[in-house]
Amino acid sequence: MGYELTDEQKDLKSMVANFMSKEVKPHLRAIDESGKFPIEIYKQAFEMGLHMLEIPEKFGGSGLDHQTVGILLEEMGYYDPGFAITILCSALALKCVLIGGTDEQKARVSNLIGEGGFGAFCLTEADAGSDAASLKTSYKEDKDGYIIDGSKCFVTNGEFADVYIVFATKDKKLGPKGISAFIVEKDRSGVMVGSHEDKMGLRLSNTCDVAFQEVHVPKENLLGEEGKGFKIAMAGLDEGRLHNACISTGICQAALDEAVKYAKERKTFGTPIINHQAIQMMLADMAINTEAARQLVRSGMYALDMDLPTTKIASMAKTFCADSAVKVTTDAVQVLGGYGYSKDYPVEKMMRDAKIFQIFEGTNQIQRMVIARELAK
């Protein structure tokens, strides 16, 4: 299978690189230190349609194929994974509506997000992370809709979201079959946003708790049928895990490039350190992991384009690419030595950013369980 980029893919990649290098990269150090959400930068990205890349044209998106989307996400991750995750989570919220929603819901939410609104995916809870089916947020019917009550944590875009996709259970005894998904607009009474998480990495993204205290939503805000919410969430996450793998691959490439650049310039014992075998072995392993990650991601994106099963390949890609990002960035810090540990050089931030990819959207330990379960079928 060949992976030569088409002219369109090259043009789109160049467009993303130009935006990231001019509008995002100059502000990374300041935002990383302050943690301030750069909403104006995101508004520019939304105007370019970067949050609607794979959304069908009839819903206001670019309608790009998954392979092309993966290339562009890798490019965003190369410059800043926190930026890429923010873009992705708005798309994930809309994607859930496109997976399980009615035509009216699809039009309503795609218009909201397409016009520059933020979306948020609300599944994780304090006691329901990897075991998402054990969530406690509940809902009950009333005469003209539903009442949602509970709290979600680690919600990306939580503070700035215009619409939340909230997963709640009608009866915990039913497990996954009791979970439904709802569209919840930010201005509904009872929606309460908690404080911003002061994170180790992904400092360009906003993460916080969101509470839903007796929030009333009309019947037309139920996504699909009652009891289908868990399937909607898992379908969204299969694709989301491949997207995260794309971003992880971008982190790998950025760290590798920085390490190679430094190794060519830094001299010890009268020669650039890239000529020392110990450094060569590290750089070679970094390059192997980076390219292997890229090929695994592209295999997964191909499966999406061909409408093939993706559960196993998504978990494989998410796991390998995240593990590779952590290893490659750690090795990059080592290659740069003391400078690698300094914030004057970019690789320490890359290392901090990489770690979360082993944790969110299902830890890598959970992904290995998913892979083993698929193998046993």
Amino acid at 99: I
For residue 49, give the DSSP letter.
Answer: T
| Tokens encoding 273 | 């350190």
Residue 361 annotated to the active site: yes
Distances from the Cα of 21 to the Cαs of 28, 105, 137, in angstroms?
A: 10, 36, 41
In the set 115, 265, 361, 374, the catalytic residue is 361
User: CA–CA separation, 232 vs 181, rounded Å?
Assistant: 8
141, 142, 145, 147 alpha-carbon torsion, rounded to 10°: -70
Beta strands 138-142 and 191-196, pairing class: unpaired
Cα–Cα distance between 89 and 119 in angstroms, integer?
Answer: 7
- How far is 353 from 332, CA to CA, in rounded Å? 13
Contact of 359 with 311, CB cutoff 8 Å:
no
DSSP 192: E
| Dist CA 349 CA 28 (whole Å) | 10
| Radius of gyration of the CA atoms of the chain, in A | 21
65: amino acid identity, one letter: D
- Backbone phi, then psi, for 161, in 5-degree steps? -65, 140
Catalytic residue positions, numbered: 361
